[in-house]
Amino acid sequence: MTKVLHLGSPTHERVKKWALGHWWTIEPLVRHTLFPDFAPPSIRWSVKGPDYAISGRLRAQGNSDLLVLVHGLGGSHESFYMHAAALRGDRMGLDVLRLNLAGADHNADTFYHAGFHNDLRLALQSPSLAGYRNIYVMGFSLGGHITLRGACEGLDTRVRAVAAISPPLDIGESVRAIDRWLDAVYRQHVLGGLKAMYTSVYERVGGPISKEEALRITKIADWDEHVVAPTHGFDSARHYWESESIGSNIAQVDLPALLVVSRHDPMVKYGTVKPSLAHASPSTLVRTVGQGGGHVSIARINLELPGMAGTGDVQTQVIAWLKAQGRKRG
């Protein structure tokens, strides 16, 4: 017997919200592709560490406060959400650094992973950023995870607050969820960025598997097992996930932190995030968005942040909250 999906039924409502979660994720990217909303003019920025260099784009207008943006898995400083946040930060009187994690610019001899918070620390130690009085860090997706790991391990003393938008908190559970066949489109999009990055590294210094083998990988779990783990000294993908996930250590974040997650995120499933949220530290403010939230991109909704008017889009509200924490800490 054919099952009928009645409009207004609980099942119909779940399907509707599931579909809208995809829409809220994809629509901003399509809109940016058709009608680009680019970041303000910026200069190429880089800093060299003991083993490799990282780069980015710096919008320096002589402000005393700096907003550092960290991209997600397979992204870069050119990702649409990085442009959007840089534009809003500039309008709100902040200098802005759109940071490339190691390898994202295709010019490094290594590449990042979910716990690579040393890139963030290296960036903040750059002499070119020494003049800033207050620094705020805003990470997206995996960049949000890295931001929280940095806040847990300790960052520059000028960092007043951090924010993570759609961060995976349990890497292993997030990987297992996105590796389902239903999420093939998102998975291939992410793997496309990772494969381009690995190819550029492999052509300079080689790697644990050949370029051809890497290009044949279709699951994030296999990528972590055969590329990430051997490159970075983990015994296995499971070892990597368990040692680097912030979820078990989220209570140790002692900076003011804001987490924005979505119940209908099609890439970082809410079920993989929810268990860790219960252990967030007292300094961490969590906002869970229902209707109106996809992955990274969240509709115009009032986050009801303490002391905030709730006007503007979500990125604007988050940046305003970050600035408010800077004023409090002085």
Entry pTM: 0.91
The SS3 call for residue 57 is: strand
Measured between alpha carbons, how far is residue 127 from residues 81, 94, 105, 115, 187 in Å? 27, 18, 21, 24, 37
Measured between alpha carbons, how far is residue 25 from residues 74, 241, 263, 267, 297 in Å? 16, 25, 12, 9, 6
Helices (H) and strands (E) in the chain, counts: 12, 8
CATH superfamily of 33-169+256-329: Alpha/Beta hydrolase fold, catalytic domain (3.40.50.1820)
The SS3 call for residue 257 is: strand
In Å, how far from its chain's centre is CA 72? 4
CB atoms inside a 10 Å sphere around CB 32 = 17
CB atoms inside a 10 Å sphere around CB 9 = 11
Q: What would you measure as the largest C-alpha separation in the chain, in angstroms? A: 70
The per-residue pLDDT string of the chain (330 residues; one tens digit each, 9 = 90 and over) reads 333 333 344 444 555 555 767 767 777 777 777 777 789 999 999 999 888 899 999 999 999 999 999 999 999 999 999 999 999 999 999 999 999 999 999 988 899 999 888 899 999 999 999 999 999 999 999 999 999 999 998 899 999 999 999 999 999 999 999 999 878 889 999 999 999 999 999 999 999 999 999 999 999 999 999 999 999 999 999 999 999 999 989 999 989 999 999 998 989 999 999 999 999 999 999 999 887 778 888 777 889 998 887 777 899 999 999 999 988 765
